[in-house]
């Protein structure tokens, strides 16, 4: 094909592009309609019509309430009649539930039809008065609702910072004893805002919280002890089948001989005995009795973000006042409604409060946008009478979303070839998926700024780990799956800082620096290995990383750490799996200079640190050494010929990668609030690799922009995806499935881009 042909072809539109253009036109129409819809919302006709809909909807709820009540009464009466005719409980059970339904259903349906004929279109004699009552109620509901929401938010802030800031509840309560005042003072020391006058009403609630938390903590420790004892017992007995003939107390004695610590902890007897019996059964059936490793059994450790428990929420005086205002408005509205439907005055208070609750839900579901009002009102009375203009205004949001979605589709269709050539199919798909998720979040009324804040937080968490991939790719070892070695060095730094009880910025700095120091020699040794294995680095580094993680599992068990906060209580040996950093430097960097913009929390400190690391990496790749390293990676023979020591450059890149991984895991842990040892770091290499690949890197080439873009996209898809999966589909497994498939899919794609006959 000649060059002219190519040009010609480019000028002509393909079939796909024609479809794209048509969709673009449709999208434009929808967008214009949406803008018109937004614009006419404030006009008198439209807002008046919406108010009418509101009044109608309120009346409709009331009439529906009374119809329901009449139908229920009829059913109850019929049931009573049946009972009088010899249908007792046994008879009902005999004939079954569906038969009973059939017997009573007819009477219910008939009564309902009659009542609907009577009440379905009540005459409103004074629409203006009704409208006033409804408006007044809505106003008070809004005032109450807003204050309640803000008080709950303040409560949640206090709760989270209190829980995150407290290392041990038992210590706190034990120090205070029964004295509530002393306990509250201790709480105020953790969270000074608690002492403010405006939070006085929360005092009893938080004291109760502290006592409850201490209780939970004690229970958790007891369980932990139990788990440990069970582990020791299970592993200590070599042949369980032998013990089968023993009686209960003989068995217990035998177990105590095996594990003397059992005698000191009689509380764990039931659990240990139950496990022992289960083990004997397994052994008799020919099965294998195995010790669950600690990572699997320590399921009760909190590893998710702290969330406020509103059980402890208490309203302020002002809120209580607003609540009584609200009740007044309820009474006024009820008067209006009984004027319209006289039979309402006859109903029981239970039914009355049911109807009013429905009205509340309609008028103040938690927010008040034009379209949400329109939707809920038309859910009651339909939108037929509302008029075209109102309907257009009410659906403006949906039109906008649809318009944007179609416009995106059109862009993709028209420029598909260019986009996929430039970014590769998987990246275009992930980008599209991300945009789709944002639209879907809007559709499900999920707060996008809040989610974006979460994405930023996760960027801080994973950013430096992904950055650690970059020097590895640049120096020619490809995706450094063995960065877990660096991660373990970093975790060692964290554990050391905990061992010496270091907190605050000093602790974090110490963890970073000591982690990096440990990572240096490890990275150097690892780089020597990789230099001998040119061409197979990725496979080998994956398995070297895996082996190192398993080896360190043993080391975590055996290393002589002594601080009781970080080792297993019972055996006095071996580090725990999960270490809370909340009492020391958890979230320290994230909270530094952190502020809120439009509902989006910006973790300033973390972002600054990530930016600093990225800047350093960028500057480094501009230096003479950096350029030499990239050259050694991209074309080793040429680099060798021009006098660059390729092996030394590869070592440099590997060491850099390892050190960044060490710092990365420290930042990850402080962001997460917990440091996890043992098998937890095993898959981190894969996560970091998929992030940088999504950003556009390949196994040969990477830039800082790839890191930032990749982490943003990857975490964005995960954060939004999880939230949407939770609100759209039941069951949480979907987001995990998505993570597995995206993360491994992008690595597979990157591998297909490099393979193809490299071996021969």
Interface residues with another protein (CB under 8 A)? 231-232, 234-236, 238-239, 285-288, 290-291, 293-294, 529, 532-536, 538-540, 542-544, 546-547, 549-551, 553-554, 557-558, 571, 573-574, 678-679, 686, 729-731, 733-734, 736-741, 744-745, 747-748, 751-752, 754-760
What are the tokens at 158? 């206090």
Cα-based angle 495, 170, 167 (whole degrees, multiple of 5): 35
Among 349, 326, 2, which residue's Cα sits nearest to residue 137? 326
DSSP 573: -
Name the residue nearer to another protein (CB basis): 144 or 240: 240
Count of CB atoms within 10 A of residue 254's CB? 14
Nearest-approach distance from CB 11 to another protein, in angstroms? 33
Name the residue nearer to another protein (CB basis): 583 or 745: 745
Nearest-approach distance from CB 729 to another protein, in angstroms? 8
Name the residue nearer to another protein (CB basis): 36 or 555: 555
Alpha-carbon gap, residue 26 to 13, rounded angstroms: 18
Q: Are 633 and 474 in contact (CB under 8 A)?
A: yes
Nearest-approach distance from CB 463 to another protein, in angstroms? 23
Nearest-approach distance from CB 721 to another protein, in angstroms? 13
Q: Which residues pair with 579 in a beta bridge?
A: 675
Three-state secondary structure string covering 214-272: HHHHHHHHHHHHHHHHHHHHHHHCCCHHHHHHCCHHHHHHHHHHHCCHHHHCHHHHHHH
Q: Are 496 and 511 in contact (CB under 8 A)?
A: yes
Alpha-carbon gap, residue 598 to 596, rounded angstroms: 7
Long-range contacts of 328-331 (CB under 8 A, 24+ apart): 328/140, 329/133, 329/136, 329/137, 329/139, 329/140, 329/141, 330/137, 330/356
Nearest-approach distance from CB 679 to another protein, in angstroms? 8
Helix or strand run (H / E) with residue 342:
none
Name the residue nearer to another protein (CB basis): 7 or 758: 758
Name the residue nearer to another protein (CB basis): 89 or 755: 755
Name the residue nearer to another protein (CB basis): 120 or 550: 550
Cα-based angle 467, 473, 474 (whole degrees, multiple of 5): 95
Name the residue nearer to another protein (CB basis): 198 or 573: 573
Alpha-carbon distances of 164 from 306, 348, 361, 368, rounded to whole Å: 7, 47, 34, 34
Name the residue nearer to another protein (CB basis): 122 or 633: 633
Count of alpha carbons within 13 Å of 22, Cβ hemisphere only? 6
Count of CB atoms within 10 A of residue 628's CB? 20
Name the residue nearer to another protein (CB basis): 234 or 514: 234
Nearest-approach distance from CB 117 to another protein, in angstroms? 39
What are the tokens at 85? 């005719």
Nearest-approach distance from CB 170 to another protein, in angstroms? 26
Name the residue nearer to another protein (CB basis): 157 or 287: 287
Nearest-approach distance from CB 168 to another protein, in angstroms? 25
Name the residue nearer to another protein (CB basis): 643 or 755: 755
Name the residue nearer to another protein (CB basis): 105 or 287: 287
**Crossing angle (nearest 10°) for helices 127-165 and 317-340:** 150
Nearest-approach distance from CB 433 to another protein, in angstroms? 15
Alpha-carbon distances of 449 from 454, 482, 666, rounded to whole Å: 9, 36, 27
Nearest-approach distance from CB 677 to another protein, in angstroms? 11
Name the residue nearer to another protein (CB basis): 212 or 293: 293
Nearest-approach distance from CB 286 to another protein, in angstroms? 4
Among 692, 689, 742, 746, which residue's Cα sits nearest to residue 717? 742
Alpha-carbon distances of 52 from 132, 206, 566, 618, rounded to whole Å: 11, 46, 65, 62
Q: Which residues pair with 575 in a beta bridge?
A: 567
Q: Which residues pair with 596 in a beta bridge?
A: 601
Alpha-carbon gap, residue 673 to 585, rounded angstroms: 8
Alpha-carbon gap, residue 507 to 501, rounded angstroms: 8
Nearest-approach distance from CB 282 to another protein, in angstroms? 8
Name the residue nearer to another protein (CB basis): 49 or 232: 232
Alpha-carbon gap, residue 233 to 252, rounded angstroms: 11
Nearest-approach distance from CB 108 to another protein, in angstroms? 27
Alpha-carbon gap, residue 112 to 106, rounded angstroms: 10
Nearest-approach distance from CB 757 to another protein, in angstroms? 6
Contacts of 445 (CB under 8 A, 6+ apart): 372
Name the residue nearer to another protein (CB basis): 26 or 291: 291
Nearest-approach distance from CB 402 to another protein, in angstroms? 27
């Amino acid at each position: 094909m000649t060059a002219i042909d190519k040009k010609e072809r480019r000028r002509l539109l393909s079939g796909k592009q024609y479809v794209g253009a048509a969709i673009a036109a449709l999208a434009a129409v929808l967008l214009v309609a949406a803008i018109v819809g937004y614009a006419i919302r404030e006009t008198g006709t439209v807002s008046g019509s919406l108010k009418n809909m509101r009044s109608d909807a309120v009346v409709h709820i009331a009439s529906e309430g009374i119809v329901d009540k009449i139908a229920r009464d009829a059913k109850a009466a019929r049931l009573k009649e049946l009972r009088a005719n010899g249908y007792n409980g046994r008879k009902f059970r005999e004939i079954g539930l569906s038969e009973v339904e059939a017997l009573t259903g007819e009477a219910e349906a008939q009564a309902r039809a009659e009542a609907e004929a009577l009440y379905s279109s009540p005459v409103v004699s004074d629409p203006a008065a009704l409208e006033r009552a409804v408006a007044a109620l809505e106003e008070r509901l809004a005032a109450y609702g807003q204050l309640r929401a803000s008080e709950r938010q303040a409560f949640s802030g206090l709760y989270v910072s209190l829980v995150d800031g407290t290392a041990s509840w038992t210590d706190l309560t034990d120090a205070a004893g029964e004295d509530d005042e002393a306990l509250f003072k201790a709480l105020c020391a953790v969270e000074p805002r608690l002492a403010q006058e405006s939070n006085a009403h929360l005092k009893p609630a938080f004291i109760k919280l502290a006592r409850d938390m201490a209780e939970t903590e004690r229970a958790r420790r007891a369980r932990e002890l139990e788990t440990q004892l069970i582990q020791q017992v299970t592993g200590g007995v070599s042949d369980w089948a032998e013990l089968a003939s023993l009686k209960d107390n003989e068995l217990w004695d035998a177990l105590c001989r095996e594990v003397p610590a059992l005698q000191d902890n009689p509380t764990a007897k039931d659990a240990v005995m139950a496990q022992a019996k289960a083990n004997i059964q397994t052994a008799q059936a020919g099965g294998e009795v195995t010790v669950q490793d600690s990572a699997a059994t320590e399921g009760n450790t909190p590893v998710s973000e702290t969330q406020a428990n509103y059980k402890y929420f208490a309203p302020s005086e002002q809120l209580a006042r607003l609540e009584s205002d609200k009740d007044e408005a309820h009474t006024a509205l009820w008067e209006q409604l009984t004027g319209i439907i006289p039979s309402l005055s006859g109903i029981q208070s239970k039914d009355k409060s049911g109807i009013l609750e429905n009205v509340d839900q309609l008028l103040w579901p938690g927010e008040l946008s034009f379209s949400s009002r329109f939707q809920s009102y038309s859910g009651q009375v339909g939108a037929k009478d509302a008029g075209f203009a109102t309907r257009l205004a009410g659906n403006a949001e949906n039109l906008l979303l649809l318009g944007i979605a179609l416009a995106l589709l059109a862009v993709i269709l028209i420029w598909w070839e260019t986009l996929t050539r430039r970014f590769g199919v998987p990246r275009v798909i992930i980008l599209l998926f991300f945009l789709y998720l944002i639209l879907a979040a809007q559709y499900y009324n999920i707060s996008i700024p809040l989610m974006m804040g979460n994405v930023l937080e996760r960027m801080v968490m994973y950013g430096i780990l992904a950055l650690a991939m970059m020097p590895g790719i640049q120096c020619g070892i490809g995706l450094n799956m063995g960065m877990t070695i660096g991660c373990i060095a970093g975790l060692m730094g964290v554990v050391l800082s905990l061992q010496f009880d270091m907190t605050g910025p000093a602790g974090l700095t110490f963890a970073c620096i000591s982690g990096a120091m440990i990572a240096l020699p490890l990275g150097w040794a690892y780089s020597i290995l990789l230099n001998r294995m040119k061409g197979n680095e990725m496979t080998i580094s994956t398995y070297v990383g895996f082996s190192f993680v398993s080896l360190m599992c043993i080391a975590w068990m055996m290393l002589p750490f002594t601080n009781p906060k970080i080792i297993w209580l019972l055996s006095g040996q071996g580090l725990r799996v999960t270490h809370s950093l909340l009492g020391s430097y958890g979230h320290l960097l994230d909270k530094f200079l952190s502020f809120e913009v439009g509902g989006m929390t910006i973790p300033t400190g973390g972002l600054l640190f990530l930016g600093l690391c990225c800047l350093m990496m960028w500057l480094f790749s501009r230096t003479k050494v950096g350029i030499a390293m990239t050259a050694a990676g991209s074309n080793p023979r040429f680099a060798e010929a021009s006098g660059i020591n390729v092996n030394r450059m590869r070592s440099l890149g590997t060491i850099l990668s390892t050190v960044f991984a060490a710092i990365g895991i420290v930042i990850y842990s402080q962001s997460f609030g917990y440091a996890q040892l043992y098998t937890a770091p095993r898959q981190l290499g894969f996560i970091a690799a998929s992030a940088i690949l999504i950003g556009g890197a390949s196994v040969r080439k990477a830039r800082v922009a790839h890191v930032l873009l990749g982490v943003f996209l990857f975490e964005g898809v995960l954060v939004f995806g999880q939230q949407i999966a939770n609100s759209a589909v039941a069951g949480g497994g979907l987001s995990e499935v998505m993570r597995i498939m995206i993360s491994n899919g992008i690595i597979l794609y990157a591998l297909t881009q490099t393979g193809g006959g490299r071996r021969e």
